[in-house]
Amino acid sequence: MIEKKQGCMYCDEVCEHRDSLMIKICDFEHSKLYLFRDQKNRGRCILAYDGHATDLTDLSEKELNDFNKELMAVANAIHRGFNPDKINYGSYADTVKHLHIHVVPKYIDGPNWNGPFSDANPKYLKDNEYQEIIEIFKKELKK
Ligand SMILES: [Zn+2]
């Protein structure tokens, strides 16, 4: 088990900065799932490892397999719940050095199709609209 690091936006239980960017959807055994507030890609979320790993290479083979299973559960939930044309995955952590994967549904008629997803021109929703999306995730993930 990888320890948490105080002052890290994904490790701290409470973090205003994190809350400004994302909304918690649910916990998995080895990770936490957050809905990205910018929803121009409907269903965009972040899966953050539960422990202060900085890169996939920090994980043991078992930890990597466990994390990957949870990532695939999220991807399958997105396919069922949102029916995108493709899902893109991004792992950057250049400055926020905590292992997290951006899971970004892409739609043929939507933003950045056939290119990298982007943070430009964010689309923010009303609270009840975020809740609707979170409910879809919870239903599909049986959470
Ligand atoms: Zn951390």
Structural domains of the chain sorted by starting position, each given as residue range(s) with its CATH number in brackets: 16-141 (3.30.428.10)
> Mean pLDDT, the chain, as a whole number?
97
Residue 1 has pLDDT above 80, yes or no: no
Q: How far is the CA of 40 from the centre of ligand 1 (A)?
A: 27
Q: How far is the CA of 33 from the centre of ligand 1 (A)?
A: 14
Q: How far is the CA of 80 from the centre of ligand 1 (A)?
A: 30
Residue 17 has pLDDT above 80, yes or no: yes
pLDDT at 93: 84
* Cα–Cα distance measured from residue 91 to residue 71, given in angstroms and rounded to the nearest whole number: 12
> pLDDT tens digit string along 39-74?
999 999 999 999 999 999 999 999 999 999 999 999
Q: How far is the CA of 10 from the centre of ligand 1 (A)?
A: 5
| Beta-carbon count within 10 A of 120 CB | 9
How would you class 128 by CB atoms within 10 Å of its CB: exposed for 0-12, middle for 13-18, buried for 19 or more? exposed
Q: How far is the CA of 16 from the centre of ligand 1 (A)?
A: 15
pLDDT at 78: 98
Q: How far is the CA of 57 from the centre of ligand 1 (A)?
A: 15
Are the beta carbons of 49 and 98 closer than 8 angstroms? yes
> pLDDT tens digit string along 99-120?
999 999 999 999 999 999 999 9
> pLDDT tens digit string along 119-131?
999 999 999 999 9
